[in-house]
Structure 1
């Protein structure tokens, strides 16, 4: 894998995290949570290290409404916490 391919993959996984936060309706809460930058950075790292990018992208494309992310989502706990402060 070239460095460029690595960077493209990282960017794609970061985009998936953003889409998941939007789909779950917590993107605004994530922006105002205490220590926003650190929380977001850790969430991006969890998403980047996930091995379910294809499944995640398909789930995001096919799902119009969901109360929780797929079981494999490494940010599921964060999403649940953000949903509780709506």
Structure 2
């Protein structure tokens, strides 16, 4: 994999993370937690290092509503915590 392929892949995974946060209804909460920039950067890093991009894309496309992300989601714990912030 060359550097350009890595960057394109990283952008796809970052976009998937954004979609997951919106699907789970926590995108706004992510922006207001203490030290939200660092929390978001760690969440992006977890998503970028995930090997389930195709499954995630399919899940996001095929799931109209869900109470929790798929079991393989590396940000599942963060999403669960954010769901309690209203």
TM-score band w.r.t. shorter chain: over 0.9
- What are the equivalent positions in structure 2 for 1:7-86 lying under 5 Å apart? 7-86=7-86
Deviations 1:31-72 (A, max 9, x none): 111000000000000000001000000000000000000000
Alpha-carbon distance in structure 1 between the residues aligned to 2:2 and 2:74: 26
Uncovered stretches (5+) of structure 1, i.e. residues with no partner: none
Alpha-carbon distance in structure 1 between the residues aligned to 2:44 and 2:6: 15
The aligned length equals: 86
Report deviation, 1:79: 0.2
Q: Give the TM-score normalised by the residue count of structure 2.
A: 0.98
Uncovered stretches (5+) of structure 2, i.e. residues with no partner: none
Q: What's the RMSD between the two structures over aligned residues?
A: 0.5
Report deviation, 1:85: 1.1
